[in-house]
Chains A and B, each alone.
Chain A
Amino acid sequence: MAQRTVEAQRGGPRDLQARVLETGLCTACGACLGHCPYLKTLGERVAFIHPCPLPEGRCFEVCPRAALDPDRLDAQLAGAGPADPLLGPHLALHFARALDPEVKRRGQYGGVTTALTLFALGAGAAEAALLTGGSPTAAPHPVVARDRATALAAAGTKYSACATLAPLAPLLREGSAPLAVVGRPCQVAALRKLEARGEGGHRLALVIGVFCFWALTPPFYRFLASRADLAPATKMDIPKEGGVVFSVNGGAVRIPLDQVRPFIRPACQSCFDPTAEWADLAVGSTEYDPDWNTLVVRTARGQALVDGAVAAGALEVTPYPAERIPILRAAVRGKKIRVLAALEAGRAEAAYLEISPERRAALQPEAEGGA
């Protein structure tokens, strides 16, 4: 695909308000927070508490729902593998799992994200890791982990839109040590936009993205609060089939997906990137074997960390089964095509995307022949 040079679109608080916050596109990633006293978050909602008079601003420029250009981010990603319009730049696809039993027990599926985070912290690749903590039945919160216990406590996928990046601005302001971030795809895109502005370029040592097809809204937690049987839940999962599953006292409590769908965050229906295409490493479920994670190695830096973790005995990897790749690609394509259709229909919820004609063409199923 031809490389394009695209100028970052300029904008400010009024644009953020009109084009992102008021249209319901905000994913509460938290990237705009922590610098600006006008922007605050509560209840997984970001809002201006007073109107900011500045014509242009960082808030708009780092927003993953303001002027997102995949070509530009592909070009920006240092050490990235070849661009792929569906799975994003990548060097390798693996199944992977943690070897530490406690990490496996507390992490999601194979515990790969937690294992990689712990390895990065232990090996000095990162001095602190920005994570998402909390119980599966209450709204999560950002966590700054500097030790194993804190990172382990934040293990497990959270299924709502925590503003995990909110503490990043003060972290970047105050110190100089390398940082790791584990985030949703929208948060990964925001981090790259942040880097493009010259913020934290040398500090963001490791960006791990988790696959995310949608997040739920906080009323979901109020719904859960009405279920006394879920109070002791330790883990939540949304497998391919079987609704939402909570691990409770060694057993499983299931909630039909139809009861959960009304809580899907509307902004997530406009997401073009379910696999964190601009992360160093992207981790998801395999939808095949719950003991393992899918691990996408996207950058040389990510590859180095995986190699180190494997060598240290923290992680075990195995090739991604070739027959499963088309299934993964189809799922991603389905999501992208839906958003692209909205963009082509001129619907506001997709207007943040700046997709080149080449990328559009590459997304069509017939263009997938050789993949």
Chain B
Amino acid sequence: MSLQALRTAGPGRTVVLSGNEAIARGAMEAGLAYAAAYPGSPSSEVLASLAAMARERGFHAEWSTNEKVAMEGAAAASFAGLRSITIMKADGLNVAMDFLTSLAYSGTRGGMVVVVSDDPGAHSSTKEEDTRYLVRASHLPLVEPATVDEAKEMTRWAFELSEEVGLPVMLRSVTRIAHARGSVDLGALQAPPRTARYDPGARYFTTSALHPLLHQRAESARERFETSPFNSYQGPADARRLVIVTGPGFTYAVEAVELLGVSGEVGVLKLATTWPLPERLLLSHLGHAREVLFLEEIEPFMETEVKALWAQHAASLGAIAFLGKASGHVAGAAGPAIGELTPEIVIQAVSALAGRPFEPRAPEFRRKVEETRLPELPARALAFCAGCPHRASYWAIKAALELDGRDGVVLGDIGCYTLGSMQTGYFTVKTVHAMGSSVGLASGFGKLSGFGFEQPVVAVVGDSTFYHAVVPALVNARYNDSRLLLAVLDNSTTAMTGHQPHPGTGRSATGEPAPPLPIESVARSLGLAVEIQDPLRTEETVESVYRLLQTDGAKVLILRSPCALLPWVKRSRRAMVDPERCIGEACGCARLCNRVFSCPALVWDSARGRARVDEVLCAGCGVCVDLCPREAIRLDAVA
């Protein structure tokens, strides 16, 4: 994180920031007073940046238990007249959606910005959701930056817009903005006011009587969008071929037009204020265009809405060919509306629009590349790290279920441990949906015994997920006496999104001590039986899981061992394979240790025909020691 760059006083300075840092800087330039988020890639670094600055800039920053709570906190600050921001990934917006659609009716006071980062291509998500449809359903104004610099500027401006129209403003980022780096022209940092107050006469209600007001406010946003300087057009004033682009595809489009040499005939309309549609602006360009190409991520949202706009004005506009994802003209290898836009997809689409063939490389260049390139790295599946306690937990859960023999079902959740559905989790996890859903599903399965359902059910969640969304489902299971085993894979951090603290860790977002709320305290307070087990003690863990599977009702097993990547987890031991005891292929175990157990540190030494521990990778968890039937693996102390 470029804290120094974030701190730099403006204006007039240019620094390199990531998109997420740029959003944080924009908020600080707007005099932000309150920031709240739940981590989720690719959005996590916005709050991480703000939290790092919060104390010295005098604003509040928190990791909230979930996105809905984060948004509610930010709304409270707004009601008190402060500027607030809440940040989440697309999945998080789903969690917060009930409150967001209500907040749209009640409106806001201090500028409130809701940052949502979509993840086209699902680099670190279980699905690729286009949040623009949800924003449309909420009637709220939506802006979408195309560059890192614009992310900063638009964030700052979004607070002003929010106050002008009395609504929260949605700022949609995507992975290639959030995690890209670019030069940013700094403005002045603005200190938050010290004058929070709730006007005793103010009312913030959700009532259908306010629906007309919401429409009026959205219209007022549309009016401002019509002339927003964030929307821009480049190209001939009367271009018959028009590209309408939102988000990072803009830079690809400009490059494509330049590379193809069609800037004299193809116009590019960059749309940054995407909902409500700036209709007059669009109509002015549809008036001269006969072919329109849409470049957007992820779904054909703009394409559909502009076509609907055209339909209203078809008589005056005449025929236009609309090309995009809906029409199938903009597509990667997996098909349209799947994955990210890439420069290749964009240039092919612009090439087709302009009727200019595009040859990406001269044949000679391609031949030289083939000649000189290094062999490709072997493909690697997503895998648990060496020493990851989750691998040990899944080993034990799978073993216990096999020993139980009733075809037990493991329901997965969202976190590092979702890898339990893949090889290094032994394909143990059979369902994955939303945060906390494993427990809701388990609660349902646990009531099916009257229908002959005899299979034991294990829900697997992480520690952060436990606080986020598990508690209501657990209360439900307790209330309805559902039979389930909840395994909390507690690695003492929100590991998947970058080791953010959570209510159990005893630290706040800003690094200050916070009263820890242990998972066992919560679960016991619900009247549930709770056991705590170190998953690195494999045999005991198998027995614990097995024993709990034989009991009725809802019960909780906390499998607690810290993430091996945490800086405070010091390696004190290291596994070693005794070359005298390991008998290689003669063992008859068919290389269970490295073939099945799948620890990256436990490898096969082909030259010697023996297992070997990679001493650089080994975290000393010791689980492999219990696996070897020859007792050939031992733990040595690390000096």
Contacts and interface: CB of A to CB of B under 8 A. Distances in A.
Interface of A: 35-38, 40-43, 45, 47-50, 52-54, 57-58, 222
Interface residues of B, number: 20
B399 A57 contact: no
Contacts of A43: 403-404, 546, 550
A49 B398 contact: yes
Contact of A37 (B398, B404, B543, B589): B589
Given A48-B402, A49-B403, A38 B589 contact: yes
Given A50-B398, A54-B590, 11 more contacts: A35-B588, A35-B629, A36-B629, A37-B629, A40-B399, A42-B404, A45-B403, A50-B402, A50-B426, A52-B590, A57-B588
28 contacts: A35-B629, A36-B588, A36-B629, A37-B592, A40-B403, A41-B403, A42-B400, A42-B403, A42-B543, A42-B546, A43-B404, A43-B546, A45-B404, A45-B405, A47-B403, A47-B405, A48-B402, A49-B399, A49-B402, A49-B403, A50-B398, A50-B426, A50-B592, A50-B596, A52-B590, A53-B590, A54-B588, A54-B590
Given A47-B403, A49-B398, A38 B588 contact: no
A41 B627 CA distance: 14
Interface in B387-445: 398-400, 402-405, 426
A133 B26 CA distance: 72
Interface string B556-594: 000000000000000000000000000000001110100
A52 B596 CA distance: 10
A222 B402 CA distance: 21
Contacts of A35: 588, 629
A43 B547 CA distance: 9
A42 B426 contact: no
B384 to A, nearest CB: 16
B259 to A, nearest CB: 53
Most B-side CB within 10 Å, residue of A40, A47, A49, A54: A49
Nearest to A49: B399
B100 interface: no
A41 B402 CA distance: 10
B363 to A, nearest CB: 46
B350 interface: no
Most B-side CB within 10 Å, residue of A36, A37, A38, A47: A37
Most B-side CB within 10 Å, residue of A36, A40, A50, A57: A50
A53 to B, nearest CB: 5
A33 B592 CA distance: 15
A64 B543 CA distance: 26
Most B-side CB within 10 Å, residue of A40, A42, A222: A42
B582 to A, nearest CB: 13
A47 B401 CA distance: 10
Interface string B597-639: 0000000000000000000000000000001110000000000
B542 interface: yes
B589 A36 contact: yes
A202 to B, nearest CB: 22
A118 B399 CA distance: 37
Nearest to A42: B403
A70 B398 CA distance: 37
B307 to A, nearest CB: 54
A48 B405 CA distance: 10
A47 B589 CA distance: 15
Contacts of A50: 398, 402, 426, 592, 596
A169 B542 CA distance: 21
Contacts of B550: 43, 222
Contacts of A48: 402
B551 to A, nearest CB: 10
A187 to B, nearest CB: 20
Nearest to B542: A42
Nearest to A22: B405
A41 B543 CA distance: 10
B533 to A, nearest CB: 15
Interface in B345-403: 398-400, 402-403
A37 B403 contact: no
A43 B398 CA distance: 15
Contacts of A45: 403-405
List 8 A-B pairs, minimum CB-CB distance, nearest first: A49-B399, A42-B403, A37-B629, A47-B402, A49-B402, A47-B403, A37-B592, A42-B546
B575 to A, nearest CB: 16
A43 B589 CA distance: 24
A102 B459 CA distance: 51
Given A43-B546, A49-B398, A50-B426, A38 B405 contact: no
A349 B516 CA distance: 57
A45 B401 CA distance: 12
A270 to B, nearest CB: 18
B52 to A, nearest CB: 45
A310 B403 CA distance: 44
Contacts of A54: 588, 590
A35 B631 CA distance: 11
Nearest to A38: B592
Nearest to B630: A173
A58 B404 contact: no
A232 B75 CA distance: 64
Contacts of B590: 52-54
Contacts of A36: 588-589, 629
Contacts of B404: 42-43, 45
Nearest to B631: A170
Nearest to A41: B403
Nearest to B590: A53
A41 B542 CA distance: 10
Given A50-B426, A50-B596, A52-B590, A37 B627 contact: yes
B402 A37 contact: no
A132 B426 CA distance: 34
Nearest to A50: B596
Contacts of B629: 35-37
Contacts of A40: 399, 402-403, 542
A263 to B, nearest CB: 15
Nearest to B626: A37
A37 B628 CA distance: 7
Interface string B13-24: 000000000000
Interface in B458-476: none
Contacts of A58: 588
A334 B150 CA distance: 90
A52 B399 CA distance: 14
Nearest to B546: A42
A207 to B, nearest CB: 25
